[in-house]
Amino acid sequence: MKKLFVLVALFVFGISAFGQVKKTDEKPLAPAFKGITLEGKTIDFADLRGKVVVLNLWFINCPNCIEEINLLNKVVDDNKNNNDVVFIGLASNTKPELEKFLKKNPFKYQIIPGAGEFMLFKYSEVNKKGEYHLGYPTHVVVDREGRIVLKVEGLKGVEAVKSELKKQFATNEAKTK
């Protein structure tokens, strides 16, 4: 009877030990994508490995998205000599809509039109009812290994992006010294 108890105890312990989920601080991988910019350039996310990628998820009828364009253009200008960062705007609007809008509101990110479905299904939060939620604008920073290190919604995202870029490139400078 003792042997049976020991075997059952070991079996239960073994199952519980193997069923443990290892906690990790590892950030999630960013969803891969391919897109064609308004200028006709193909962007394949896989080709951006080794660079820091800043994504802005937006659309032209979003007041906060429009309000932050000049601030985001300044972030691009502040990093114009940094070849290790790429700025991409994923927009839900069509190419003709964006071209008309951008004549009045120049945006220095590389813009990929028609990305609404990708943004919704790859970057939104899903609640318990299975409903998707994505606030606009959404800012995402992806590190050199392809991991999401920042995801923030709204106008506060501009400052968060600037802060994360400083962190990403301070880390890089420390590694090269």
121 φ, ψ (degrees, to nearest 5): -80, -20
Residue 176's CB is within 10 A of a number of other CB atoms, namely 6
pTM, rounded to two decimals: 0.81
What are the structural domain ranges in the chain?
A: 27-176
Give mean pLDDT in consecutive 10-residue pieces for the chain, a chain of 177 residues.
45 43 69 94 95 96 96 96 96 96 97 88 82 88 96 92 94 52
Residues 6+ apart with CB under 8 A from 154: 64, 135, 137
Closest among 136, 89, 139 to 114, alpha carbons compared = 89
Q: Which residue, among 130, 147, 137, 156, has the nearest Cα to 65 in the 3D structure?
A: 137
Predicted local distance difference test score (pLDDT) of residue 27: 87
Write the class of the CATH domain 27-176.
alpha beta
